[in-house]
Amino acid sequence: MQDALLDVARFWLDRGVDGFRLDTINFYVHDKLLRSNPALPEDQRDTSIAPSVNPYNHQRHLYSKNQPENLDFLRRFRAVLDEFPAATAVGEIGDAQIGLEIMGEYTAGNDKIHMCYSFEFLSREAPTAARFADVLARIDAAAPDGWACLAFSNHDVIRHATRWGLTPAAQRALTTLMMCLRGTLCLYQGEELGLHEADVPFDALQDPYGIEFWPEFKGRDGCRTPIAWESSHQNGGFTQGQPWLPISHEHLMHSVAAQEADPGSLLHHYRRAISFRHAHKALAKGSHSDVRAEGDVLHFTRTHKGETLFVAINLSGEPAVIDAPAGNWLQVGQELGSTGPAPDGKLHLGPWQPALALRVPG
């Protein structure tokens, strides 16, 4: 079986694909004796991976995943990838209890997977400064030699605009923050338009998961509806036929065409934020240090080959004040709403406002 899978991977690599996204990468090998998992106490259950109504969430997965033999297969898979320059892979870690530890184990060194993502920033937990500081510190501790892949939304979870109850200003701030984080970043289709979760009626559901557990869990179709390219057609320019899932009427107001025409739209903010990341190697490749939450403000520095950037972002709807970093700094990122030090030497941040600065030598 492993040989056949590796042959499939080599087939696609020969055809020129850049790499692979591997689903639930820690599930590939099961216990040789096929032993049953023990029950997981209710107070230890975490619904970030599966809803509470799913029996999957009621087990301690000692035998159904995270088996040591999985690492041997990943090494074989990586050896195939290494035959093709620049080919890469990202693995999904499906584990609500030890996801970060598995990420560290699977991405350490140069003989397994290039990068992995877990569900810490895909959960319902509010995106506070303290939350970000805690998760980033745990990634550093669990995967000091690894590389994280970070996302706020994907095909398995409620869109983060809805999940976190974000205002437009909050969406912009979190986009700016994401582009400043250490790791490889994944954007989910439609988040650049600020789309909220679509309300898909039961009779239109396609996700077997939602059909089985309705109404306690409505499935994942609400984040999977087609993008509205323009608003003059009931299917948003996506198709002249019948789409797999219905287009949300609310999404029509946030169509690509409407946002392309508005220089102040979230779509253009995403483009500016991505350009800012590309312009600074410290953001794309650098280390991070001094990651701290000071009240509602998250701040840290990113460094790579002589370039150091200071990043501070107010993750709340209230003004905040922190001390400016010591030394000589040049304010950057004004196109993202960045502010600089006031005459009192402090950073006075408006609601959801960033302060971005480049260290100046001397």
Q: Where are any strands of DSSP class E within 132-192? A: 149-150, 184-185
Q: How far is CA 287 from CA 4, 7, 93, 307, in A?
A: 38, 36, 23, 11
Q: Which of the following is catalytic: 7, 18, 69, 83?
A: 83
Token output for 358: 């480049």
- Enter the DSSP assignment of 44: G
Token output for 333: 């990122």
Q: How far is CA 76 from CA 4, 31, 113, 311, in A?
A: 12, 20, 10, 39
Q: How far is CA 217 from CA 222, 273, 276, in A?
A: 11, 34, 39
**Cα distance between residue 317 and residue 313, in whole Å:** 11
Which residues face 116 on adjacent strands? 91, 148
Active site residue 125: no
53 Cβ contact list (under 8 Å, min separation 6) = 213, 216, 217
From the centroid of its chain, how far is CA 17?
Answer: 23
Query: DSSP letters along 116-144, please?
Result: EE-SGGGSSS---HHHHHHHHHHHHHH-T
Are 202 and 133 within 8 A, CB to CB?
no
For tokens 């869990």, what's the residue?
217
Radius of gyration of the chain measured on its C-alpha atoms: 22
Active site residue 95: no
Q: Write phi, then psi, for 307 (nearest 5 degrees).
A: -100, 130
Q: Which of 132, 187, 182 is nearest to 302 (CA)?
A: 182
Sign of CA dihedral 74, 80, 86, 89: negative
Q: Which of the following is catalytic: 23, 72, 111, 335?
A: 23
Bridging pattern class, strands 115-117 and 287-294: unpaired
Active centre residues (catalytic): 23, 83
